[in-house]
């Protein structure tokens, strides 16, 4: 069986055989990505670039089977997995002060998943785990050559949404691929509009290049969200300029409350720099009138509207924890699933990816049940791992 796709199934109409994409135990596996190598799919008409909005080529799991799977992978809080974050590589071209302690840039994990394996993992997680939305992240996803194969392949799967989280440094360089893939949403992590503060926080990169990349994507009609980690000692003075920059361009700014990940868990830097939702709102309220607005059930951000101007959000890990409604699952660049950002427990799915479909599906149900049990009941506790390893 080729990696990166799902074992070839007998076609519809083959007497006495299963319809396309349906395994012997009735689970549907999207079959498009048997392989990412365009030429290798040869004359198979099913490998044509599909309409993302159409799932007619994916035979649905039977309602009965779906019900059983849903019950098996749902916890007592009603949480299940809907959103998958994929760390394409652990490597990053930045060394942000809140992400790595010593300014040393992170390098790829010892053995990272291939593009084919990533797409196969997503196909299985869609079929077995009910994953509907995928975000490609890292490390820095645009640093990895795999992104050129993975992103367009994910765009062809019948997912509800495919997004990308990037520091933006390579947006210009990757513009043609990104626009060509049809991606609709990109989150850019940007903590300041001040070039000096930028270099102090990211310890690398060039602000003007990031801003030009954002403009290029926005001009192509890609929806931009900006993620900013507000920190008392580093960029408190940037809260209002960043908000104005985003409102002017129709971007949603999301403030991510500093999280006690990695070296921040020790406390000193965290306590010095943490800026909570109340203080942020006070700062914003000094210039703008805002009102809280609706956010989807499993949204991580609390959203606010500034009438006539736009919206902004706060990912209030500390001030308003959202663990109870979290539907996120993370796949690390070396093939481990994490059910919770606040847990060191991981579940290696690399061996599973080499199994025939039926066995892979059965094994994945058990793995997902365990990953779900790793979720915190109420609030983020902090963890020694850093986001770059497991996909921020």
Per CB under 6 A, contacts with ligand SAM among 175-194 are 189
* Nearest-10 crossing angle of helices 115-129, 357-373: 70
The single residue among 89, 123, 137, 235 that binds ligand SAM, judged by CB under 6 A, is 137
Tell me the residue number closest to ligand SAM, measured at CB.
Answer: 392
The single residue among 80, 167, 238, 300 that binds ligand SAM, judged by CB under 6 A, is 167
Answer for the pair 379, 319: CB distance below 8 angstroms, yes or no: no
Q: In angstroms, what is the minimal distance from the CB of 80 to ligand SAM?
A: 23
Answer for the pair 179, 220: CB distance below 8 angstroms, yes or no: yes
Q: Which stretch binds ligand SAM (CB under 6 A): 29-37, 64-72, 137-145, 173-181?
A: 137-145
Q: Indicate whether 387 belongs to the interface with ligand SAM (CB under 6 A).
A: yes
Pick the closer one to ligand SAM by CB: 258 or 323: 258
Which sign, positive or negative, has the C-alpha torsion 84, 88, 94, 98? Answer: positive
Q: Indicate whether 388 belongs to the interface with ligand SAM (CB under 6 A).
A: yes
Pick the closer one to ligand SAM by CB: 227 or 327: 227
Q: How far apart are CA 181 and CA 147, in angstroms?
A: 11
How many residues bind ligand SAM (CB under 6 A)? The answer is: 20
Q: How crowded is the C-beta side of 241, counted as CA atoms within 13 Å?
A: 9
Tell me whether residue 185 is exposed, middle or buried, using C-beta atoms within 10 angstroms of its C-beta: 0 to 12, 13 to 18, 19 or more: middle
Sheet holding 310-315, edge to edge: 291-293, 302-306, 310-315, 252-256, 223-228, 185-189, 161-166, 133-137, 83-87, 328-331, 336-338, 347-348
Q: Indicate whether 92 belongs to the interface with ligand SAM (CB under 6 A).
A: yes
Per CB under 6 A, contacts with ligand SAM among 292-351 are none
User: Binding marks (x or -) toward ligand SAM, 210..239, rule CB under 6 A?
Assistant: -----------------x-x----------
Pick the closer one to ligand SAM by CB: 52 or 265: 265
Exposure string for 291-314, b = 16+ CB within 10 A, e = fewer: eeeeeeebebbbbbebeebbbbbb
The single residue among 4, 21, 138, 230 that binds ligand SAM, judged by CB under 6 A, is 138
Q: Indicate whether 264 belongs to the interface with ligand SAM (CB under 6 A).
A: yes
Tokens for 117, please give them. Answer: 């394996």
- Give me the residues that bind ligand SAM (CB under 6 A), please: 92, 98-99, 137-138, 140, 165-167, 189, 227, 229, 256, 258-259, 261, 264, 387-388, 392
């Amino acid at each position: 069986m080729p990696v990166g796709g799902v074992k070839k199934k007998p076609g519809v109409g083959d007497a006495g055989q299963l319809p396309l994409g349906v395994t012997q135990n009735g689970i549907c596996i999207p079959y498009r990505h048997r392989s990412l190598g365009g030429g290798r799919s040869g004359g198979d008409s099913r490998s044509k670039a599909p309409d993302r909005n159409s799932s007619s080529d994916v035979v649905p799991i039977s309602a009965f089977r779906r019900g059983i799977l849903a019950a098996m992978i749902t916890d007592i809080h009603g949480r299940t997995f809907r959103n998958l974050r994929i760390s394409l590589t652990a490597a990053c071209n930045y060394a942000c002060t809140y992400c790595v302690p010593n300014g040393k840039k992170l390098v790829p994990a010892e053995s990272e998943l291939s593009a084919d394996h990533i797409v196969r993992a997503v196909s299985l997680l869609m079929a077995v785990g009910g994953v509907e939305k995928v975000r490609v992240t890292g490390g820095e996803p645009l640093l990895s050559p795999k992104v050129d194969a993975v992103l367009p392949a994910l765009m062809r799967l019948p997912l509800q949404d495919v997004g990308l989280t990037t520091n933006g440094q390579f947006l210009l360089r990757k513009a043609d691929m990104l626009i060509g893939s049809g991606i609709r949403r990109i989150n850019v992590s940007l903590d300041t509009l001040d070039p000096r503060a930028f270099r102090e926080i990211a310890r690398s990169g060039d602000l003007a290049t990031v801003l030009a990349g954002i403009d290029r994507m926005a001009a192509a009609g890609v929806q931009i969200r900006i993620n900013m980690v507000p920190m008392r000692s580093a960029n408190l003075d940037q809260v209002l300029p960043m908000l104005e920059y985003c409102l002017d361009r129709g971007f949603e700014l999301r403030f991510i409350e500093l999280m006690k990940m990695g070296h921040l868990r020790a406390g000193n830097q965290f306590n010095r720099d943490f800026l909570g939702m109340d203080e942020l709102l006070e700062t914003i309220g000094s210039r703008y009138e805002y009102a809280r607005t609706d956010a989807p059930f499993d949204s991580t951000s609390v959203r606010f509207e500034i009438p006539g101007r736009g919206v902004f959000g706060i990912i209030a890990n500390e001030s308003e924890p959202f663990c109870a409604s979290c539907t996120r699952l993370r796949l690390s660049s070396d093939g481990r699933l994490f059910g919770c950002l606040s847990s060191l427990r991981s579940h290696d799915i690399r061996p599973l990816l080499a199994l025939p479909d039926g066995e892979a599906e059965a094994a994945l149900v058990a793995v997902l049940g365990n990953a779900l049990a790793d979720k915190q009941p109420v609030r983020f506790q902090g963890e020694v791992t850093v986001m770059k390893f497991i996909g921020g």
